Amino acid sequence: MTITVTIGMLLGLLFFYIPKKYYTTGSLYITRKVSTNEASYYSYDGYYSQQVALSYTNTVLATLESKDILSKSLNSMAIDINDKNLRKYKNNIEGKKEGPQMITFTVKGNTKENTEMLWNNLIKETTEKLNLINADSGDKNISINKLVEKPVTVQLHYPLYICLIFGSLIMLFINFMFLTFKTYLKENTK
């Protein structure tokens, strides 16, 4: 039993030192400027501006997560555009509507530089494309703003004691299953 727990703790220690993924997270705020003639936010135009921004937040979120923007961003990072890479990177991005006009966007990856670069490229490509669409045929008063210029990048890190306990529990479970199977075979082979 002691050997099993020790081996489990060693496995937990090994898991603790395995490189973890990086997460880059930042938020966007979507607004629509109120007409200069009517600056009051409680006027019809003020109310309309807020409602447009609320609805447009869904468009921004869908555009951020689209394969078109992803492929354009990967292309600017000199990454091959193929089905495998698109699926891999698509699974590593997540947008979430945090409030009526706010989106939090997260990218995960193996290196800090790549996650930050992909996050910045996705935001840049999305804002450029939507601004171009709005300038041609949409609403020129809509704007997409970053809450902070530089996103937050952190490395996922499990506490050492959790890794040690988890490794020990896994080895105890394996040991229990082995002894149960061994007892089962011994009784059924008689």
Model confidence pLDDT, tens digit, residues 105-161: 999 998 899 899 999 999 999 888 888 888 877 777 788 889 888 999 998 877 888
Phi-psi group of 34: left, alpha or beta (phi > 0 → left; psi -120 to 50 → alpha; rest → beta): beta
List alpha helices for the chain, DSSP H. 2-17, 44-64, 67-76, 83-90, 112-136, 160-188
Q: Output the pTM of the full model.
A: 0.70
33 or 177, greater pLDDT:
177
* Domains in the chain: ranges and CATH: 2-12+159-188 (no CATH), 21-155 (3.30.70.1130)
Give CA torsion, residues 61, 67, 72, 75, to 10 deg.
Answer: 130
